[in-house]
Chain A
């Protein structure tokens, strides 16, 4: 491009870019402003912003009326704990796939094998069902569970025999499952009066209720994002030169030492990026939060949604509540852009 008039070009681009940037950011900015105005003033238009008084009252009111702190704690707790739990599962998994990859599937699945396994399992399941309960499963959920396991067996065998690349891709594909499909099953599992709630004899689960339960949300969030965590860690681990780990082996390190003294310190930036991404995903998650929580375990996304059918004027309070919900993630996002790109594209773009 011609070097002349680069100042002029720069000016033009500056104007265009700043305009678009400010336009994109404007809704956020306005929310921030409205949060500091009284309810009656919250609706003032930009030209009146400087003339109306600023106030902190909204934050107080929100906290007073609805114990806002609880929702913040829920959000933080669910986000952090599900991330931690995810790491617990994902670090060994990513380690195994990055450094001891399986190149050949351990079971060769031909069409005949598939057919045989599926038919076999189906036959056994059907037989047991017929003989014991004549196909009527109501009242015998345990049996239903057993049949489930039998039905899943071929699939489980297939999954565990995969080579590493296929296993990774399969894991990613579980993320693509529409939540709408899992809504009923999860609802039924979590609900009192659902599938699990019952006195089973050998274990009494009649107190079971995971709806609106903090500890119910955590494993769910973990499962939702586990594929992404594993994938991101995998790409970061793959960047560590194998020779360094081999040197550790030669130096006499056992597997534990290798993991803790060599791998983890070197992988810290990658682990941190993965945690940040997961925090963002868990914090902003809406579908399950809206459906499965209500009062006690509700994170911020649920709480804000309560403002959709309020009484009276509420915009300033909505803005105040929203501000506190979005600022932490905005800051995290601003500082971890590069790392996020890797996670948000499943590693395809670096």
Chain B
């Protein structure tokens, strides 16, 4: 229940090819995240799975059944939109009840399910309010309530947290992950924020210009990126690329010393976060490097430093951007 099979899925709008061809298998109950820069096709892929767009070619299967031609209502999925897409003229109660109404669920059962969902999401006091009377976080919960009330095969999330402020975003992230733990349903989540991807996902699908670059668990992508793109996308701050993009090493894998080391450089800027310090170092012919130092760092702008990368944390790339070695 809740497995997906995408085979050679291709999407083009006229001459513009958004997704050249995607193959992907999504496992039962996993939290899988589509991540990538703007315009990489992650939302498009999600919408193809949802049935909101037609595929140009290829097949989409849910639990082994071919749903490529099926409209959204027949796929048994629920979606949470970036802008929540609540029905503004209906109360919270009616919003949550709407999918049940569309599937002709009898009234008694419908009321029970709505009450249950509302209780789970702390919305019971707001059931008679209209969306415009709610805060962003509350609206988000209504959108989620509308999705869970149908007990769908899988949940689709299209950048649901992008419209929330930073603090709220962190809270909602935790809530969604808890939801996943409780409901054990497959969740396909789209975001451009790689921090969200790393913290929430069982597996991550990294997309670049419509192509699936790599699929794997967060740590897999962190430790063994298979391309320049993935290496540069995952991990914040970005990986340092030197020697004409053939070598890469992460800021947190470089040791600092004021006496000796492999590389020499001058500190240009120091960013103090309290828990870490990020030093932007001019490494001469190696270019600009970012180095992470633990806690408060003594190195300030203008100081000369010596940097030593951890040997087994250096990534090598060939001319085409693919990772080699290891």
Asked whether A and B interact, the reply is: yes
Q: Which residue numbers of A lie inside 8 Å of B, CB to CB?
A: 103-104, 241, 243-244, 246-254, 257, 262, 265-266
Closest to B90 in A: A265
Q: Is the contact region of chain A dominated by helix, strand, or loop, or is it mixed?
A: helix
Beta-carbon contact of B14 and A103 below 8 Å: yes
Interface size range of chain B in the complex: 20 to 34
Beta-carbon contact of B14 and A249 below 8 Å: no
Beta-carbon contact of B102 and A253 below 8 Å: yes
B73 at the interface (CB under 8 A from A): yes
B85 contacts across to A, CB distance below 8 A? 241, 243-244, 246-247
Interface members, chain B 125-166 (any A CB < 8 Å): 146, 150
Of B52, B73, B87, which is within 8 A of A252 by CB?
B73
- Nearest CB of B to A273, in Å: 17
Beta-carbon contact of B89 and A266 below 8 Å: yes
B88 at the interface (CB under 8 A from A): yes
Also in contact, A246 and B89, with CB within 8 A (given A104-B14, A252-B102, A253-B102): no
Beta-carbon contact of A265 and B89 below 8 Å: yes
B307 at the interface (CB under 8 A from A): no
Beta-carbon contact of B78 and A250 below 8 Å: yes
In the complex, 26 of the A-B residue pairs with CB atoms within 8 angstroms, ordered by the A residue number, are A104-B14, A241-B83, A241-B85, A243-B81, A243-B83, A243-B85, A244-B88, A246-B52, A246-B72, A246-B81, A247-B79, A247-B81, A247-B87, A247-B146, A248-B87, A248-B98, A250-B52, A250-B77, A250-B78, A250-B79, A251-B73, A251-B146, A253-B73, A253-B102, A266-B87, A266-B89
Bound complex: CA A75 to CA B16 (Å): 53
B103 contacts across to A, CB distance below 8 A? 252
Q: Which residue numbers of B lie inside 8 Å of A, CB to CB?
A: 14, 50-52, 71-73, 77-79, 81-83, 85-89, 98-99, 102-103, 146, 150
B72 contacts across to A, CB distance below 8 A? 246, 249-250, 252
Also in contact, A262 and B87, with CB within 8 A (given A103-B14, A243-B81): yes
Closest to B73 in A: A252
Beta-carbon contact of A252 and B89 below 8 Å: no
Beta-carbon contact of B73 and A254 below 8 Å: yes
- Nearest CB of A to B3, in Å: 19
A247 contacts across to B, CB distance below 8 A? 79, 81, 85-87, 146
- Nearest CB of B to A81, in Å: 28
A248 contacts across to B, CB distance below 8 A? 87, 98, 102
Besides A246-B79, A249-B52, A251-B99, 17 more A-B contacts (Cβ < 8 Å) are: A104-B14, A243-B81, A243-B82, A244-B88, A246-B72, A247-B85, A247-B87, A249-B72, A250-B52, A250-B77, A250-B79, A251-B73, A252-B72, A253-B102, A262-B87, A265-B89, A266-B88
